[in-house]
Structure 1
């Protein structure tokens, strides 16, 4: 073989390798999550060029309320969103043809103390029954924190219907407590620290720690139509998330920088709290506990098929 022939062969091999690991042309992909650390793997994948390396021109946008994610996916305003497990399951139960494509975050018993019900300063809540009659702000009715808190109330012998729940976005919880428009909020770090530092509230219950679960919090979902029509995009997305997740779990500074950039929270505040555990692997059976919990709360009309919830 001539030197020129050898050079051409090497070049062709290199192009084949690139084609195997990334899309031939950058695919514009719109992703959206709420202002939490749960989608940190997507934030890191964007900021560290991992999406770009896999051929994705990905934009990760902020969405105020988690329950707005499924409609945004169906309308094609976004192609991939980070719904909480309950929001996803309720959307599927309601007839939306959504499918999970990768895991984002899971509950970690060791870190669950970062989730809390925070009572407004001057509102006395010492035990579960003290929430009866109170107005409690949740970042999405039917979303993760709301369903988890209702599960905790049931476990403690309190009827969730005796509590008045309203929607309050994470960034506005501090002001909602300060103004007195709610008696308590269901939130997580770094918002807990921010509220306490402002003197507007304090922790009333570490309900997630009490439940001590290890189930999915948020995962990445798409419409089944989009996922099946773009298998190469889904593969590139999954590969990107699989590469970014270990960075989230091991490099706290890198994760904190990306979370602060996405949530618009001060970096010093974000650094105080370890992000939720990123776990890209997801299977249908991981959602069994959530289905059971939601049926207990009369949130599902049927029983979603575990075998169809996650894209193979």
Structure 2
């Protein structure tokens, strides 16, 4: 008889990478996908470009995207929306670190790296662009650094074998380097990168427009997960650490990003990164930047995040509020010019 069979959960494929701030593992642990009636397959990709190619081809419905890929895809006019924020860095929750060898007693500050070899992830990555911030802040030229491109997992070996003098590492690899005795902290990058959006959820525009209720469920899951991680950092470290097979002594002490309690991205950070990339000459300016930001960030927030928060309820987020008072170094206009409506405490009416 009709109606006697239980409804099938909707199947969603979410692309993720083997890095620390992929909160999907926590969402799955908490049973949030089942709570919202979604059957989710978490599909592992070894790097961000592979996951985003799968998103654009339709092989996955949801993927995480870093700031550089988000801006690159927006610049190409690709049909995607950027939704809830994943982890962010702040002065209290710094991200990247400059690591030096344990026996190095002469390198006491970033300026002391002048003329030395530094291992960093590669051209076009977040840390690649953030090194521009560092050299600008400390009155150095980019050519003062002798850069060696190296994947995060190999940084400790290059440092210990003296093939480089320092590395620009990212959690959990900084902790892995320190715990293995291959290096020590020189400085964290909050000195030149006080806060930033590390990654956010990306969805194909056509799929999202056809499945708005599903997208709103995914947004709710992300927000609930963000709040739980902040409230349960020790258990979150365990879940995330075990998911990428880290030793217990590493995941118990590794740095953990902060996860915005209301899911909104911190728009001055995106604007700052855009102006940084343009200033290096390695990224072409948008003809109408505001229109691009509205299309890729503001309108999707109005369409999907605002209604999700209407159901879940807004929460006070002192960490985000404190960070948003910081003027970032690449913004040419006053900070207020880059605040999104939700950052001005203006109502963001949901739309369909």
Residue 188 of structure 1 is aligned with which of 157, 170, 185? 170
For residue 107 of structure 1, what is the aligned residue in structure 2?
89
- Give the Cα–Cα distance (whole angstroms) in 1 for the partners of residues 34 and 122 of structure 2: 32
Tell me the equivalent position of 2:186. Answer: 204
SS in 1 for 2:87: strand
Query: C-alpha displacement at 1:129, in angstroms?
Result: 4.1
1:137 to 1:242, Cα distance in 2 relative to 1, 3 A = same
Structure 1 length-normalised TM: 0.80
Give the superposed CA RMSD. Answer: 2.9
Residue 113 (structure 2) aligns with: 131
What secondary structure, in the 3-state scheme, does the structure 2 residue paired with 1:27 have?
A: strand
Unaligned stretches of 5+ residues in structure 1 = 1-11, 13-17
* 1:16-53 deviation line (CA, Å, top 9, x unaligned): xx9xxxx96322322213412x223x221012211222
Specify which of 235, 242, 245 is matched with residue 226 of structure 2: 245
The reply on whether 1:308 has 2:260 as its aligned counterpart is no
Structure 1 counterpart of 2:151, from 169, 188, 192: 169
The residue aligned with 1:158 is 140
Task: Choose between structure 1 and 2 for higher RCO, CA contacts under 8 A separated by at least 6 residues.
Answer: 1
| Alpha-carbon distance in 1 for matches of 2:174, 2:266 | 31
Change in CA separation of 1:157 and 1:34 when aligned onto 2, cut-off 3 Å: farther
> Which residue number corresponds to residue 141 of structure 1?
123
Larger deviation, residues 255-264 vs 185-194? 185-194
Q: Is the 8 A contact 1:73 1:222 kept in 2?
A: yes
Structure 1's 269 and 239: CA in aligned 2 closer, same or farther, altered over 3 A? same
TM-score normalised by structure 2 residue count = 0.71
**C-alpha displacement at 1:233, in angstroms?**
2.5
Q: Is the alpha carbon distance of 1:283 and 1:174 closer, same or farther for their aligned partners in structure 2, counting shifts above 3 Å?
A: closer
Structure 1 residue 215, shift from structure 2 partner? 3.0
How far has the Cα of 1:237 moved from its partner? 0.9
SS at match of 1:309: helix
Q: Number of aligned pairs?
A: 288
